[in-house]
C-alpha cells in the first residue's frame, strides 16, 4: 500500500497491511504525524502531539511484529484521545485554563487497554472547555474547525477528535459523550461515532462532566472499526465505580454472526423528525427509503418527549456544578464566560428539582425500553441541521420559529445519555453545500452488536466508507 493512499483506510485495511508486512507501524505513524503537522494549524484538532513518544512506541511495536507477537487488529494502529482522558505523563488540559499544566500520573483504563492491544498514542484532541459545550468552540486553545468548510463548526465537545478522524490524521480517537459530544461532531464531520450503553466502558481516568450522563466511546471511519475498538475498551474494570455489566459480549464475534440478519426498525417521527432542515429531512428520508436492512419499519410514538430537554439539563447542570464547586469558589475567573455562567446556573438548581429530573429520566428510559421490545432498533436524525457557521446563533425552523444552535444540536442526542441506551451515528449524505448529514441508530441496553451490524451493512450496500473524504488542500 502506497503511503499516500493509507490516510483514509479503515483499521481493518491497515491492520491487514501491517500483518502482511506491506506497511510498518513506524511508516503509519509517520503518515499520521505528517498530516497532523500539515492540517492541524488550520483545523486546530490537536492540543498536544506526541512526536517522539509515538515514534518510540511504533518502533517497539514493529519489533514485536517482527518477533511474531500478535496483539490483535489494533497492533500498530495510531490513535488519539480527547484531552479530558488521562495518559501517564501526557499533559491533560481538559480544554481549560485551570488544568493547563496538569500531568496525569496514570493511564485511563481505556488508554491502558488500547496500549495493551498494541495501539500507539499520537496525541490529545481539542474540545470545548471541560467538555462543556456542543460546538467545538474553545476560547483558551482555539476552536476546532470543520474540515468540509473551515467557516463552519466541527461540533463538540469531542470536536477535535472528529476532525482528526475525518481528515485522516488518525484512524480512531477516543472521546466522551454527555449530551451528544461524540455523535454530534461525528455527524457534522462525516464520520462514525459510537456511544455505547452506559457502564459498558470504564470511566476511570476520565474527567467527569456529569457522572450519571457521561459515556466513553470512539470515533472511527467505519462501523467495523468501531466494533473492534469497542471490543478492546469495553468490559468490567475494578477501578471504575460503574459496574452496570461485568460480562461484556465479544463484539467481533457477535458482529460477524448478526450482520446478515434482518432487523425491525422503529421510526419516532414526532419530536425527533420535527424542525429538520429541508435538506437534512430529504437525506434522512432517502436513507429510510433505501435502508434495505429491515423486515419491517414501524412508526412508533414516544411519550414524554416534552420532558426530555429540561430533565437532562437539570441533571447535567447540577452534577457539573457539584464537580466544579471548589474551583468555582476559588478560580471562577479562570473559567470562560459561558462555562462559568452554566456552572452558576447549576448552583440555583434545588434538590427537589434534581430528584424530579431523576424520576422523569427513569420514566423516559422505561418508555424507550418498552418500545424496544417491539422493534430491534430505532432510527432518528443525529442532528436536525448540518454544521452551522461560526457566526450563527440561531437557526430557522421549518415553521418559522427560531431555536438556539446549542439546543438544535442537542435535540436528538441527549435523551440517549439520559436513558443510557447505545447509539451510533453514521454519515448518510451531503447537503448542496457539501456538508455531511448523519443518522443515529439506537438499540436496547447492551445490544451494540445490532447497531454495529446495521451500520456495517449500510456501509457495504452503499459503499459509503469511501464517500466521506473532506476536500482538503
Mind listing the pLDDT tens digit for each residue in 10-28?
A: 999 999 999 999 999 999 9
What pLDDT score was predicted for residue 50? 98
Query: What is the CATH classification number for the domain harbouring 206?
Result: 3.90.1300.10
Name the band, by pLDDT with cuts 50, 70 and 90, for residue 393. Answer: confident
Q: Which residues contact 16 (CB under 8 A, 6 or more apart)?
A: none
Nearest alpha carbon to residue 195 among 212, 174, 210, 211: 174
Residues whose CB is less than 8 angstroms from the CB of residue 11 and which lie 6 or more positions away in sequence, other chains included: 73, 74, 77, 171, 172, 220, 221, 222, 224, 225, 228, 229
- For residues 46 and 123, the answer to whether their CB atoms sit within 8 Å is yes
In a domain, 106, yes or no: yes
Sign of CA dihedral 402, 408, 414, 415: positive
Domain membership of residue 174 (yes or no) is yes
The per-residue pLDDT for range 421-451, each reduced to its tens digit, is 999 999 999 999 999 999 999 999 999 999 9
Is 309 a domain residue? no
pLDDT given at position 394? 79
pLDDT value of residue 110? 98
- H or E element at residue 342: helix 337-346
Residue 236, domain member (yes or no)? yes
Segment (H or E) for 121: strand 120-125
Q: Which residues are tagged catalytic?
A: 82, 157, 181
Residue at 271 is within a domain: yes
Q: What is the pLDDT of residue 294?
A: 59
Cell of 116: 495493551
* Average pLDDT rounded to a whole number, residues 246-274: 72
Q: Which residues contact 215 (CB under 8 A, 6 or more apart)?
A: 176, 177, 178, 182, 195, 196, 198, 201, 417, 420
Cell of 311: 430533565
Examine residue 160 and state whether it is found in any structural domain, yes or no: yes
Task: Name which of 91-105, 244-258, 432-446 the model is least confident about.
Answer: 244-258
pLDDT recorded at residue 17: 95
Quick one: cell of 299?
412508526
Average pLDDT over residues 128-156: 98
Number of domains in the chain: 1
- Residues for the chain: how many in total? 473
What is d(CA 81, CA 112) in angstroms, rounded to the nearest whole number? Answer: 12
Instruction: Give the pLDDT score at 258.
Output: 53
> 136 lies in which domain range?
3-301+372-466
Which residues does 86 contact at the CB level (< 8 Å), separation at least 6? 92, 104, 106, 107, 108, 111, 205, 206, 207
61-65 contact pairs (CB < 8 A, 24+):
61/25, 61/118, 61/120, 62/24, 62/25, 62/26, 64/118, 65/18, 65/19, 65/21, 65/25
Cα dihedral sign, 310-316-322-324: negative
pLDDT at 259 over 80: no
Rounded Cα gap, residues 225 and 286, in angstroms = 25
Question: Has residue 288 been placed in a domain?
Answer: yes
Answer whether residue 167 is part of any domain: yes
Grid cell of 291 as nine digits: 435502508
Amino acid at each position: 500500500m502506497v503511503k499516500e493512499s493509507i490516510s483514509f483506510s479503515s483499521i481493518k485495511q491497515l491492520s491487514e497491511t501491517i500483518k502482511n508486512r506491506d506497511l510498518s507501524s513506524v511508516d503509519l505513524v509517520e503518515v499520521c504525524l505528517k498530516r497532523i503537522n500539515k492540517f492541524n494549524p488550520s483545523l486546530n484538532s490537536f492540543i498536544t502531539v506526541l512526536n517522539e513518544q509515538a515514534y518510540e512506541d511504533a518502533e517497539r511495536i514493529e519489533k514485536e511484529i517482527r518477533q511474531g507477537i500478535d496483539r490483535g487488529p489494533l497492533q500498530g494502529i495510531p490513535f488519539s484521545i480527547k484531552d479530558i482522558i488521562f495518559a501517564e505523563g501526557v499533559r491533560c488540559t481538559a480544554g481549560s485554563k485551570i488544568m493547563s499544566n496538569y500531568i496525569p500520573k496514570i493511564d485511563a483504563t481505556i488508554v491502558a487497554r488500547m496500549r495493551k492491544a498494541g495501539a500507539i498514542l499520537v496525541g490529545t484532541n481539542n474540545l470545548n472547555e471541560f467538555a462543556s459545550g456542543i460546538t467545538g468552540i474553545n476560547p483558551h486553545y482555539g476552536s476546532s474547525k470543520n474540515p468540509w468548510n473551515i467557516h463552519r463548526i466541527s461540533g463538540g465537545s469531542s470536536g477535535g477528535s472528529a476532525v482528526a478522524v475525518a481528515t485522516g490524521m488518525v484512524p480512531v480517537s477516543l472521546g466522551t459523550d454527555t449530551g451528544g459530544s461524540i455523535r454530534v461532531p461525528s455527524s457534522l464531520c462525516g464520520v462514525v461515532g459510537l456511544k455505547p450503553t452506559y457502564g459498558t466502558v470504564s470511566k476511570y481516568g476520565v474527567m467527569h462532566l456529569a457522572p450519571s450522563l457521561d459515556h466513553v466511546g470512539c470515533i472511527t471511519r467505519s462501523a467495523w472499526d468501531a466494533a473492534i475498538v469497542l471490543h478492546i475498551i469495553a468490559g468490567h474494570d475494578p477501578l471504575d465505580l460503574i459496574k452496570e455489566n461485568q460480562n461484556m459480549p465479544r463484539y467481533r464475534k457477535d458482529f460477524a454472526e448478526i450482520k446478515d440478519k434482518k432487523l425491525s426498525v422503529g421510526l419516532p417521527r414526532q419530536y425527533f423528525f420535527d424542525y429538520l432542515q429541508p435538506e437534512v429531512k430529504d437525506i434522512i428520508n432517502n436513507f429510510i427509503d433505501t435502508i434495505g436492512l429491515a423486515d419491517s419499519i414501524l412508526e412508533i410514538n414516544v411519550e414524554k418527549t416534552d420532558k426530555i430537554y429540561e430533565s437532562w439539563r437539570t441533571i447535567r447542570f447540577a452534577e457539573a456544578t457539584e464537580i466544579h464547586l471548589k474551583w468555582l469558589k476559588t478560580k471562577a475567573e479562570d473559567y470562560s464566560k459561558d462555562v462559568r455562567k452554566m456552572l452558576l446556573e447549576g448552583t440555583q438548581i434545588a434538590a427537589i428539582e434534581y430528584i424530579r429530573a431523576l424520576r422523569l429520566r427513569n420514566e423516559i428510559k422505561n418508555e424507550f425500553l418498552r418500545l424496544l421490545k417491539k422493534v430491534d432498533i430505532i432510527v432518528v436524525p443525529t442532528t436536525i441541521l448540518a454544521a452551522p457557521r461560526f457566526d450563527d446563533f440561531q437557526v430557522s425552523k421549518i415553521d418559522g420559529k427560531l431555536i438556539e444552535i446549542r439546543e438544535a444540536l442537542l435535540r436528538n442526542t441527549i435523551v440517549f445519555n439520559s436513558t443510557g441506551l447505545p447509539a451510533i451515528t453514521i454519515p448518510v449524505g451531503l447537503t448542496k453545500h457539501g456538508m455531511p448529514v448523519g443518522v443515529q441508530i439506537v438499540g436496547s441496553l447492551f445490544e451494540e452488536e445490532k447497531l454495529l451490524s446495521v451500520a456495517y451493512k449500510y456501509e457495504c450496500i452503499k459503499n459509503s466508507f469511501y464517500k466521506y473524504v473532506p476536500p482538503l488542500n
